[in-house]
Amino acid sequence: MPATPHLIPSLVQGAASAIQTHAEEVTALDRAIGDGDHVLNLQRGLDALAKQAESISALDWPAALQKIGMTLMSSVGGASGSLYGTLFIAMGKALKDREMNRPNLAEAFAQGVEAMKARGKADLGEKTMLDVLIPVADALRSAVERSLSVPQWVDEVSRAAEAGMESTRDMIATKGRASFLGERAIGHVDAGARSSQLMISAIAEVLAAKS
């Protein structure tokens, strides 16, 4: 992990282009079992981040993550905005007075995911983006324990995200709008799981290419 957030503009750009490329697909997923606005919500947040990316990249990691979280909270409507905002703000808190490296990133990400779980009162198996984020947090920790190389690390994180995303297909939703549909949600991947998987894989690729 780079010690400073100078890659933030490329990371935001990577996440935004992954969403752009799959915009129709993700919109169709949210239309099938939600209200269809998920891509628009994300794009509002990613546009706001892109505008501030240069100035955010001049901060230290805790301040940068805090700023990212605040920006997402204030720019994204929808459930996903406050949830992602909570994740990044908690990550910033966890990294306070610590250097950025892979063990501390794994720890901070896990704490961010815990904060998101608390905020949305949701956990694994409820057909949300947590079905991607929780396995990714586990993969980050396990990669640290086994001292993987960067390419292996990226590969394992991306695989965990993809398996988590796919796991939502056969779930009944118990949180969010899809929960109103009961069994009719079965057979559809959750939009937030797909978008978080796309963004995580894109971010991991940028990090691998630049490290």
Least distance (Å) from ligand ADP to the CB of residue 76? Answer: 7
- Residue linked to tokens 């695989």: 159
Q: Please count the other Cβ atoms lying within 10 Å of the Cβ belonging to residue 76.
A: 22
Question: Quick one: which of 5, 14, 34, 69 contacts Mg ion (CB under 5 A)?
Answer: 34
Question: Quick one: which of 175, 181, 186, 205 contacts ligand ADP (CB under 6 A)?
Answer: 175
10: tokens are 């490329």
Question: Quick one: which of 20, 35, 123, 152 contacts Mg ion (CB under 5 A)?
Answer: 35
205 is a contact residue toward ligand ADP (CB under 6 A)? no
CB-based contact 136:157 (threshold 8 Å): yes
Least distance (Å) from ligand ADP to the CB of residue 70? Answer: 18
CB-based contact 54:84 (threshold 8 Å): no
What stretches of 34-178 show up as alpha helix (H) in DSSP?
38-57, 61-75, 79-94, 102-120, 130-145, 150-167
78 is a contact residue toward ligand ADP (CB under 6 A)? yes
Least distance (Å) from ligand ADP to the CB of residue 40? Answer: 8
192 is a contact residue toward Mg ion (CB under 5 A)? no
Residue number with CB closer to Mg ion (30 or 156)? 30
180 is a contact residue toward Mg ion (CB under 5 A)? no
The CA-CA-CA angle for residues 150, 54, 94, to 5°, reads 55
37 is a contact residue toward ligand ADP (CB under 6 A)? yes
163: tokens are 């398996």
34 is a contact residue toward ligand ADP (CB under 6 A)? yes
Q: Helices (H), strands (E): how many in the chain? A: 9, 0
> Which one of 8-16, 36-44, 107-115, 155-163 is the stretch in contact with ligand ADP (CB under 6 A)?
36-44
54 is a contact residue toward Mg ion (CB under 5 A)? no
